[in-house]
C-alpha cells in the first residue's frame, strides 16, 4: 500500500527507519567497543568522534530525517508553523546564554548544578536572575542545558559546545577578548545569533522593495537594512565601533573549520599525483587554515594563499608561528589580492576555493571565475569545496550528465534531501541571501554558472557530511 494513502502506514514506516538505523549504529559501536555519547554528557572530541564514522553518520542522518518528518507529520499543523515562527526566540536565548558565560560558569562548578542566582552574579553582566531562568528554561526544553532542580542548571552535550574553555575571571576581565585564541565555535554561534539573525529579520522588506528585490549587490542585502548602513557585510566590520564584531567574526570563521571538512578537503583531489613544485592557489583562503592542512600532508607542492590585505596581515603571524620554514623557503606565499580583480598568478596547477563563491551573487561569481579562467593554463584545474544543495524532491530523470554526481532520490518515506538531517545547508542559503546576496547552489546552478564563466565540470561529488561543506566540484577550462 502507498503510505501516502494511509498516514498511519507512513508514520510506522518512519518509525521503522529510526529503528533499523539505530540497529546499524549499535552494531558498529559493538564492533569497535565504543559507547555512543549521552545527551547528558559534556561534549568532547573523544566522545563525539564516533559520530564521524561514515556508517554511523549515514545512519544518524536517516534517524534525524525520519524523526523530523515524523514530528512534522504527527504534530498539529498550526503548532508546527507556530513553533517554527518562534525559533528566533531560541536563537536569541542562545546569544543571551553565551554573553552571560553560562557554560563556562557551570563548567567551573565541575558541571554540577548551579543556581540561576549564582550564574547571574558570576557573569558580572547585571542580568536579572528571574529573566535568565526563563531564558535557560526555554533552552533546556530544546535540550540545550539541563534543569536538574528548580532554577538549578547544568551543561549537557549540546550546551557544552558553547564553552570557550576560558576561565570566567579571564572572560570578565576582558569580555571583548572572550573568543580570542579559542576553537571559535562559540564565536560562530554568537555571530549567527547576532548579525545573521538580525539580517534575516529584514529579508521580507528587502525582497519586496523594488530597489533591492532583484539586486545581486552585496551592499543591498537585508544586512544593510538591519544595521542601517550602506556598507556591505565585510566592509561593515572595518568601520569604527565594530571592533568586537570583527574579532568575533575572525574567530567564527575558525570555528566553522571542522575536522571532517579538513579530511574531506585532503581527499577531494589526488594531490599526490601533482608534479613536484606544482602551484596550488587558495583563492579567498582567509588566513590559510586549509592550506596549512595541505602543506602538512603534501610537502612536494608550493602554495599561495590569497585574500584581502587586512586578512593577509592577520595570517602572517599565524604562519610564522606554525610554519615559519614554509614561509621563509617560499614554499608558501601569502598574497593580498582582490578576488574581483584579474588573477595575478598565471597557469597554476590548481585554483582552490572553499566556501568562497557562496558569498557572491551569480553575476559576481561569473566575474570571479572568468578572472581565474583567463589566468588558467591548459592543464589548470579548478577545485571548489562548497555546498551542493539538493532539491526536496526526486532528481531522477534530470539531465545532469555529471560524473560522480548522484541525483537526490527519496529513500522510502524520507524526503529526497533527507529533510531535517540536511537543513543546515538551506539555513546557510538564507544566511547568504540575507547578509551578502550570496547563495548556496544546486548542481544545475553550479553547472550553468561555471559554463558561462568558461569552465566545465568533470567531476561532482557530495560528501557523507555535506553540511560540513565537504562537497567537491572539479572543473577544467572549457
- CA-to-CA separations, 254 to 181, 185, 219, 249, 286, in angstroms, rounded: 10, 7, 25, 9, 10
CA–CA separation, 219 and 405 (whole Å) = 34
Cα of 369 vs its chain's centroid, Å: 23
| Angle (CA) 290 377 452, round 5° | 85
CA dihedral of residues 217, 221, 223, 225 (deg, nearest 10): 110
Cα of 452 vs its chain's centroid, Å: 27
Active-site residue identified among 227, 300, 358, 459: 358
Grid cell, residue 94, equals: 542562545
CA–CA separation, 94 and 191 (whole Å) = 11
First-residue to last-residue Cα distance in the chain: 49
Angle formed by the axes of helices 129-141 and 87-99, to 10°?
Answer: 130
Alpha helices in 355-464 (DSSP H): 362-375, 423-436, 443-452
Closest alpha carbon to 102 in 41, 176, 186, 188: 186
Grid cell, residue 202, equals: 529584514
Residue 260 has a pLDDT of 56
Other CB atoms within a 10 A radius of the CB of residue 2 amount to 7
Do the Cβ atoms of 422 and 466 come closer than 8 Å? yes
CA–CA separation, 365 and 361 (whole Å) = 6
DSSP annotation of 388 reads: B
DSSP annotation of 441 reads: B
CA–CA separation, 107 and 103 (whole Å) = 6
Do the Cβ atoms of 284 and 308 come closer than 8 Å? no
β-strand pairing of 152-154 with 146-149? antiparallel
Grid cell, residue 290, equals: 586549509
β-strand pairing of 152-154 with 114-115? antiparallel
Grid cell, residue 87, equals: 525559533
- CA-to-CA separations, 297 to 13, 265, 281, 348, in angstroms, rounded: 45, 11, 16, 19
* Per-position pLDDT tens, the chain of length 478: 345 567 789 899 999 999 999 999 999 999 999 989 899 988 777 777 788 788 998 899 999 999 999 999 999 999 999 999 999 999 999 999 999 999 999 999 998 999 999 999 999 999 999 999 999 999 999 999 999 999 999 999 999 999 999 999 999 999 999 999 898 999 999 999 999 999 999 999 999 999 999 999 999 999 999 999 999 999 999 899 999 999 999 888 876 665 555 666 677 788 999 999 999 999 999 888 889 889 989 999 999 999 999 889 989 998 999 999 999 999 999 999 999 999 999 999 999 999 899 999 999 999 999 999 999 999 999 999 888 899 999 887 666 778 888 888 888 899 999 999 999 999 999 999 999 999 999 999 999 999 999 999 999 887 544 444 457 899 999 9
Which CATH topology does 86-177 take? Arc Repressor Mutant, subunit A (1.10.10)
Is 300 noted as a catalytic residue in this protein?
A: no
CATH top-level class for 259-477?
Answer: alpha beta
Do the Cβ atoms of 307 and 286 come closer than 8 Å? yes
Closest alpha carbon to 194 in 240, 239, 242, 158: 242
Cα of 215 vs its chain's centroid, Å: 25
Amino acid at each position: 500500500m502507498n503510505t501516502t494513502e494511509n498516514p498511519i502506514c507512513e508514520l510506522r514506516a518512519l518509525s521503522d527507519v529510526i529503528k533499523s538505523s539505530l540497529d546499524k549504529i549499535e552494531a558498529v559501536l559493538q564492533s569497535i567497543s565504543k559507547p555512543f555519547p549521552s545527551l547528558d554528557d559534556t561534549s568532547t572530541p573523544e566522545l563525539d568522534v564516533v559520530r564521524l564514522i561514515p556508517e554511523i553518520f549515514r545512519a544518524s542522518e536517516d534517524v534525524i530525517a525520519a524523526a523530523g518528518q515524523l514530528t512534522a507529520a504527527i504534530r498539529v499543523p498550526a503548532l508546527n508553523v507556530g513553533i517554527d515562527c518562534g525559533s528566533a526566540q531560541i536563537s536569541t536565548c542562545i546569544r543571551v546564554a553565551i554573553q552571560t558565560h553560562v557554560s563556562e560558569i557551570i563548567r567551573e562548578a565541575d558541571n554540577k548544578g548551579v543556581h540561576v542566582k549564582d550564574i547571574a552574579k558570576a557573569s558580572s553582566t547585571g542580568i536579572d536572575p528571574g529573566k535568565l531562568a526563563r531564558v535557560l528554561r526555554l533552552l533546556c526544553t530544546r535540550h540545550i542545558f539541563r534543569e536538574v532542580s528548580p532554577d538549578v542548571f547544568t551543561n549537557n552535550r549540546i550546551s557544552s559546545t558553547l564553552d570557550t574553555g576560558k576561565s570566567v575571571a579571564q572572560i570578565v576581565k576582558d569580555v571583548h577578548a572572550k573568543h580570542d585564541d579559542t576553537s571559535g565555535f562559540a564565536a560562530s554561534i554568537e555571530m549567527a545569533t547576532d548579525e545573521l539573525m538580525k539580517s534575516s529579520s529584514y529579508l521580507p522588506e528587502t525582497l519586496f522593495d523594488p530597489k533591492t528585490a532583484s539586486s545581486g549587490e552585496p551592499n543591498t542585502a537585508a544586512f544593510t537594512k538591519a544595521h542601517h548602513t550602506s556598507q556591505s557585510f565585510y566592509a561593515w566590520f572595518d568601520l569604527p565601533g565594530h571592533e568586537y564584531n570583527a574579532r568575533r567574526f575572525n574567530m567564527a570563521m575558525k570555528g566553522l573549520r571542522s575536522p571532517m571538512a579538513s579530511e574531506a578537503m585532503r581527499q577531494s583531489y589526488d594531490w599526490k599525483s601533482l608534479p613536484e613544485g606544482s602551484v596550488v592557489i587558495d583563492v579567498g583562503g582567509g588566513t590559510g587554515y586549509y592550506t596549512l592542512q595541505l602543506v602538512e600532508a603534501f610537502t612536494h607542492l608550493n602554495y599561495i594563499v590569497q585574500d584581502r590585505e587586512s586578512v593577509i596581515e592577520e595570517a602572517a603571524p599565524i604562519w610564522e608561528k606554525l610554519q615559519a620554514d614554509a614561509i621563509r623557503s617560499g614554499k608558501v606565499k601569502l598574497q593580498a589580492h582582490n578576488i574581483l580583480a584579474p588573477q595575478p598568478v598565471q597557469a597554476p596547477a590548481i585554483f582552490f576555493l572553499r566556501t568562497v563563491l557562496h558569498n557572491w551573487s551569480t553575476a559576481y561569481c561569473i566575474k570571479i571565475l572568468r578572472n581565474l579562467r583567463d589566468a588558467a593554463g591548459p592543464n589548470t584545474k579548478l577545485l571548489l569545496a562548497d555546498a551542493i544543495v539538493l532539491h526536496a524532491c526526486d532528481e531522477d530523470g534530470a539531465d545532469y550528465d555529471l560524473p560522480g554526481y548522484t541525483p537526490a532520490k527519496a529513500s522510502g518515506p524520507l524526503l529526497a534531501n533527507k529533510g531535517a538531517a540536511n537543513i543546515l545547508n538551506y539555513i546557510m542559503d538564507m544566511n547568504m541571501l540575507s547578509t551578502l546576496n550570496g547563495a548556496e547552489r544546486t548542481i544545475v546552478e553550479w553547472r550553468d554558472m561555471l559554463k558561462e564563466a568558461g569552465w566545465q565540470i568533470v567531476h561532482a561529488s557530495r560528501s557523507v557530511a555535506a553540511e560540513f561543506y565537504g562537497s567537491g566540484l572539479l572543473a577544467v577550462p572549457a
